[in-house]
Amino acid sequence: MYEFTIIVPVYNEEDNLERVEKELLAYTKIATKKTAVLFVNDGSKDRSQELIEAICTRNKAFYFINFKENRGLSAAIKAGFDHVESPLVGYIDSDLQTAPEDFNLLLEHSDEYELVTGVRSNRKDSFVKNMSSKIANGIRRAFTHDGMDDTGCPLKVIKTENAKRIPMFKGLHRFLPAMILLQNGKVLQVPVQHFPRIAGTAKFGLWNRLLGPLMDCFAYLWMKKKYINYEIKSKG
């Protein structure tokens, strides 16, 4: 039985997948929890699915979900949450701008916190990307009061029972800490490494990083007002 599952959303990442296999396979050998890897192919139009199937055939701890069509990052993460069976779930982007071994830094705190997220230190992105992300994070914090500096960091560990209770919609992957707080859970951020993208292309532009998240903040406020949270005292 696996204790931790890493979700890897994939969209047209054929040039990265062999490196993803190598890095995640190496991580499973040093992971502090017995770890599985779940690829979620978000309707890729390149050879990503062919490569994913070959990777999963070679590696017992690797498996996949293949979308019929492209549905976006939040949908891929939601599908992963729905299908994992381990007590802990995390995710990492297939561009590997964050390091799988840093999951161990997050897992150190997984008993005490419902969600532990990375904070990318010394980011290796362009000035425009860094500034737009910084502004978007500031806007989000003002709406959600989640105290998080970098919710866009693609390195997170969440207790699966909490992850499965998150009502995902497009863009909500940026609000995962806030949604855990709605469940009266505790969240923590931990500094992690960050690297330049080696292959493939970024899937988010200025609209996705700045204007889109501003609109999502209003969706979050509606969600917060309507969110249903309960604890069962007893059953008979």
CATH of the domain at 180: 3.90.550.10
pLDDT attached to residue 146: 73
Which stretch of DSSP H or E encloses residue 115? strand 115-120
Would 232 be classed as within a structural domain? no
Identify the burial level of 170 via C-beta atoms within 10 angstroms of its C-beta, where 0-12 means exposed, 13-18 middle and 19 or more buried. Answer: middle
Average pLDDT on 10-16 reads 94
Average pLDDT on 152-161 reads 92
Please report which confidence band the pLDDT of residue 133 belongs to, taking 50, 70 and 90 as the band edges. low
Would 234 be classed as within a structural domain? no
Which of 36-40, 50-54, 131-135, 166-170 comes out lowest in average pLDDT? 131-135
Would 128 be classed as within a structural domain? yes
pLDDT in tens, 48-91: 999 999 999 999 999 999 999 999 998 999 999 999 999 999 99
Task: Quote the mean pLDDT of the chain.
Answer: 85
Which structural domain, as residue segments, surrounds residue 107? 4-226
Q: How many CB atoms lie within 10 A of CB 184?
A: 10
Which of 66-75, 137-146, 148-157, 202-211 comes out lowest in average pLDDT? 202-211
> DSSP H helical segments within 4-155, as ranges?
17-30, 48-58, 73-83, 103-107, 127-144
pTM: 0.82
Number of domains in the chain: 1
Please report which confidence band the pLDDT of residue 188 belongs to, taking 50, 70 and 90 as the band edges. very high
Token readout for 35 is 């770890």
Please report which confidence band the pLDDT of residue 235 belongs to, taking 50, 70 and 90 as the band edges. confident
